[in-house]
Amino acid sequence: MLTLLFSSALAIPSTLVKRNYMDCSSAPYCGLLVLETGNGSGNYNHPTPAVHGLWPETGRYGNSGCVGGSKSASIPNVSCYNDYSFQEHEWTAHGVCAAADPDTFFNTVCNLSSAPLQMMADLNSQGYSIDDIASQLGSNGYPVFNIDYNNAQIELSVCAGSDAVWQIADVSQFDSVCNY
């Protein structure tokens, strides 16, 4: 079940990527759902918005726990990613802490990103800036935690309870949404 909660704050960093530390509070797991607008340069420039990944905020990025999967697990080829080698990177860099297995991880990433990516595509086609897209996402209940201006990405906050089922939720709501 996907739960959306209104974001009360929009963190806007300087032009340098400066990720804020994420405090999970009493939620066992917390992190970011990172969405590319497609308006960046290099690998971040493409015709439509795309999912980058789900990143548990561990170590210097936050106090999330790590679910613990296997880096050598078989990676499924899913429709919300265009590049299988990128999927492999996402699993070994982030998925191993976000899910016990790759199928669960990638299905979660695709399901959570579907609706906000559609909204971003609509706004992109109308020429909205990244700030305007982030503002519209926030106004529609998607909790924007950070904007990565260097790569034209919008980072939504997510959390998971002890069942490791990730949900989109504002940081201020982690205790009530994911504390179980």
Alpha carbon distance 160, 2 (integer Å): 11
The residue that leads in pLDDT, 12 or 172, is: 172
Task: Indicate whether 14 belongs to any domain.
Answer: no
CB 53 within 8 A of CB 109: yes
Residue (of 152, 145, 150) closest to 24 by Cα position:
145
Task: Indicate whether 49 belongs to any domain.
Answer: yes
Task: Indicate whether 36 belongs to any domain.
Answer: yes
- pLDDT at position 20: 85
CA atoms within 13 A on the CB side of 20: 20
Task: Indicate whether 121 belongs to any domain.
Answer: yes
pLDDT at residue 5 greater than cutoff 90: no
CB 33 within 8 A of CB 144: no
Task: Indicate whether 63 belongs to any domain.
Answer: yes
Q: Is the Cα torsion angle 136, 122, 90, 165 positive or negative in sign?
A: positive
- pLDDT at position 38: 97
Confidence category of residue 18, pLDDT binned at 50, 70, 90: low
CATH number for the domain that contains residue 103: 3.90.730.10
pLDDT at residue 14 greater than cutoff 80: no
Residue 79 belongs to domain spanning: 29-178
CB 62 within 8 A of CB 140: no
Cα 3 to the chain's mean position, in Å?
Answer: 14
Mean pLDDT, range 18-39, rounded to an integer: 94
Task: Indicate whether 76 belongs to any domain.
Answer: yes
Q: pLDDT for 142-161, tens place per residue?
A: 999 999 999 999 999 999 99
Task: Indicate whether 10 belongs to any domain.
Answer: no
Alpha carbon distance 169, 69 (integer Å): 23
Q: pLDDT for 157-166, tens place per residue?
A: 999 999 999 9
Predicted structure pTM score: 0.89
DSSP letter for 93, please: I
Task: Indicate whether 128 belongs to any domain.
Answer: yes
Alpha carbon distance 80, 44 (integer Å): 15
User: How many domains is the chain partitioned into structurally?
Assistant: 1
Mean confidence (pLDDT) of the chain: 90
Q: pLDDT for 87-133, tens place per residue?
A: 999 999 999 999 989 999 999 999 999 999 999 999 999 999 999 99
